[in-house]
């Protein structure tokens, strides 16, 4: 039985995944939240979570949580959870640098009897084949003799206030049956929705990547259908709503596919597939379609501008929204940047209006300075890129006022009435 008095949990990485986890554990167990950013720790100490995943009063309720950049205090912990980012590089290959670094840090703090659980998205085999050797090297200890590992895939949905960590069923796994039971029981003590103990660590790793790969492929199908229906002069949403009256039709919608999960996880799976000599045709085809949607939208907008005799060279476009999804400050892997780059190649400038994302973060990551407010009568085209509530609350007249007398309005997210726009997916 797990005692609240004899366990200390360390959560490595206090981002969108790690902070909610640290807060939930910190309500019940002594918990150390570790992050490399002193700015992040200082903000959390003041009760501020810039990801908007945890409110100030909820942070305060985690009375047993201490956040720090001091790795030396991790030696007091016996249960380590790694929640660091696992993005892809410019060549769409897995970037495991943060996972390597965090494994080194944890390994240097391991003692006999300790547990290490990874939540970061990986391909099957990473926990045991890549992370465990680092843990063993740094600690001088042996897996399943001196310490144990597990994998429990994160299912955080940034910006979603309905599906929260405790209310999302948690998949768990462990390196031995006893370890799997212990890890499952510890998570079950904070997850009200319950847990599911996977057959092995590799099964849990694979389950994580296919959850989002499945969504990616389905969205790619709808994006391809949207391109077809545009050629047929048929409204895509009208078609989807009609088809959606069938009980088993899946309610996917066209759009830009970015973020830290759907736009990344398939590349982890395809990397492993190609490593073992398997050619994943459907997955890569879906990725190709979704990665090309930003360029497709730009081509559509330019074509519409030309149909209205709007000069495209040196034109100026307003893109409303930059984060990867609505009502969320997360700009990781946003595919709106693809539109900005595509317009630039056509000698068209693009202003970004983003009420949720942090301007300094956007500038540091993408070398773009968002505008504070769109100017009136300034734009040759307006693109509704992200369905923020602020944009939904705007009247059509307000949005139209940002454009010149001749202006294209293209609505990726179908925020506006179809009769009031020039184009959409």
Provide the pLDDT for residue 163: 86
Which tokens sit at 204?
């849990």
Q: In whole angstroms, what is the distance from residue 41 CA to residue 48 CA?
A: 9
Q: Considering only CA atoms, which of 323, 318, 319 is closest in space to residue 333?
A: 323
Other beta carbons within 10 angstroms of residue 366's beta carbon come to 17
Q: In whole angstroms, what is the distance from residue 95 CA to residue 98 CA?
A: 8
Q: In whole angstroms, what is the distance from residue 226 CA to residue 257 CA?
A: 14
Chain position carrying tokens 């897996």: 143
Query: What distance lies between CA 266 and its chain's CA centroid?
Result: 13
Three-state SS for 25-72 is HHCCCEEEEECCCHHHHHHHHCCCCCCCCCCHHHHHHCCCEEEECCHH
Asked if 340 contacts 320 with a C-beta cutoff of 8 angstroms, the reply is: no
- Please classify residue 39 by burial: count the beta carbons closer than 10 Å to its beta carbon, then call 0-12 exposed, 13-18 middle and 19+ buried: exposed
Chain position carrying tokens 């389950």: 207
Q: Does residue 47 come out as left (phi exceeding 0), alpha (psi in the -120 to 50 range) or beta? A: left
Asked if 20 contacts 54 with a C-beta cutoff of 8 angstroms, the reply is: yes
β-pairing, 195-197 with 423-424?
Answer: unpaired
Other beta carbons within 10 angstroms of residue 415's beta carbon come to 21
Provide the pLDDT for residue 160: 79
Provide the pLDDT for residue 424: 94
The set of residues, in sequence order, having a beta carbon less than 8 Å from that of 370 and lying 6+ positions away, is 322, 351, 352, 353, 354, 357, 359, 362, 363
Asked if 319 contacts 352 with a C-beta cutoff of 8 angstroms, the reply is: yes
Other beta carbons within 10 angstroms of residue 254's beta carbon come to 26
Q: Considering only CA atoms, which of 90, 139, 158, 98 is closest in space to residue 122?
A: 98
Q: In whole angstroms, what is the distance from residue 334 CA to residue 260 CA?
A: 9
Cα three-residue angle 362-366-370, rounded to 5 degrees: 45
Please give the DSSP secondary-structure letter assigned to residue 355.
S
Cα three-residue angle 392-299-341, rounded to 5 degrees: 80
Which tokens sit at 26?
């910190």
Provide the sign of the torsion angle of the four alpha carbons 204, 209, 211, 214, taken in this order.
Answer: negative
- 3-state helix, strand and coil shares in percent for the chain, rounded to the nearest 5: 40, 15, 45
Tell me the catalytic residues. 261
Provide the pLDDT for residue 285: 97
The set of residues, in sequence order, having a beta carbon less than 8 Å from that of 412 and lying 6+ positions away, is 254, 255, 256, 297, 383, 384, 385, 424, 425
Q: Considering only CA atoms, which of 214, 254, 250 is closest in space to residue 237?
A: 254
User: In 233-388, which ranges are continuous DSSP H helix?
Assistant: 236-243, 265-275, 281-291, 293-307, 336-345, 359-366
* CB-based burial, 342-352: b 16+ in 10 Å, e otherwise: bbeeeebebbb
Provide the pLDDT for residue 6: 83
Q: Considering only CA atoms, which of 137, 101, 92 is closest in space to residue 120?
A: 101
Indicate the SS3 state at residue 382. strand
User: pTM for this one?
Assistant: 0.94
Provide the pLDDT for residue 2: 61
Averaged pLDDT in 10-residue chunks for the chain of 425 residues:
78 96 97 97 95 93 96 97 95 96 98 97 97 98 98 89 91 98 97 97 97 96 97 95 97 92 93 96 97 97 97 96 95 96 96 96 95 96 97 95 97 92 94
């Amino acid at each position: 039985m797990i005692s609240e008095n004899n366990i200390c949990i360390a959560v490595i990485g206090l981002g969108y995944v790690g902070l909610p986890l640290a807060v939930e554990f910190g309500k019940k167990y002594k918990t150390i939240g570790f992050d490399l950013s002193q700015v992040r720790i200082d903000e959390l100490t003041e009760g501020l979570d810039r990801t908007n995943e945890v409110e100030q009063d909820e942070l305060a309720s985690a009375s047993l949580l201490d956040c720090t950049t001091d790795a030396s205090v991790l030696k007091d912990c016996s249960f380590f959870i790694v929640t660091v980012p696992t993005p892809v590089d410019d060549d769409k290959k897995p970037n495991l640098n943060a996972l390597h670094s965090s494994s080194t840090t944890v390994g240097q703090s391991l003692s006999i009897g300790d547990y290490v659980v990874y939540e970061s998205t990986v391909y099957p085999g990473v926990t045991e084949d890549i992370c465990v050797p680092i843990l063993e090297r740094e600690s001088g200890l042996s897996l399943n003799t001196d310490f144990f590992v597990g994998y429990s895939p994160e299912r955080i949905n940034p910006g979603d206030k309905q599906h929260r960590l405790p209310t999302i069923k948690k998949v768990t796994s462990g390196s031995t049956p006893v370890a799997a039971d212990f890890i499952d029981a510890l998570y079950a003590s904070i997850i009200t929705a319950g847990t599911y103990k996977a057959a092995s660590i590799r099964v849990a790793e694979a389950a994580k990547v296919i959850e989002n790969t499945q969504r990616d492929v389905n969205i790619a199908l709808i994006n391809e259908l949207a391109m077809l229906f545009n050629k047929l002069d048929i409204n895509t949403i009208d078609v989807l709503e009609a088809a959606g009256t069938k009980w088993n039709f899946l309610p996917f919608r066209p759009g830009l596919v970015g973020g830290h999960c759907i736009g990344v996880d398939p590349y982890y799976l395809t990397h492993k597939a190609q490593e073992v000599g398997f050619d994943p045709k459907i997955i890569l085809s879906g990725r190709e379609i979704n990665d090309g949607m930003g360029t497709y939208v730009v081509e559509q907008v330019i074509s519409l501008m030309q149909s209205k005799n709007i000069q495209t060279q040196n034109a100026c476009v307003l893109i409303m929204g930059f984060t990867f999804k609505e009502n969320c400050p997360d700009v990781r892997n946003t595919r709106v940047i693809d539109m900005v780059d595509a317009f630039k190649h056509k000698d068209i400038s693009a202003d970004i209006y983003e009420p949720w994302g942090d301007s300094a973060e956007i500038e540091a990551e993408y070398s773009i300075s968002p505008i504070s407010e769109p100017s009136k009568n300034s734009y040759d085209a307006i693109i509704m890129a992200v369905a923020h509530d602020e944009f939904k609350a705007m009247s059509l007249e307000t949005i139209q006022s940002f454009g010149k007398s001749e202006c294209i309005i293209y609505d990726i997210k179908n925020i506006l009435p179809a009769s009031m726009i020039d184009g959409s997916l």
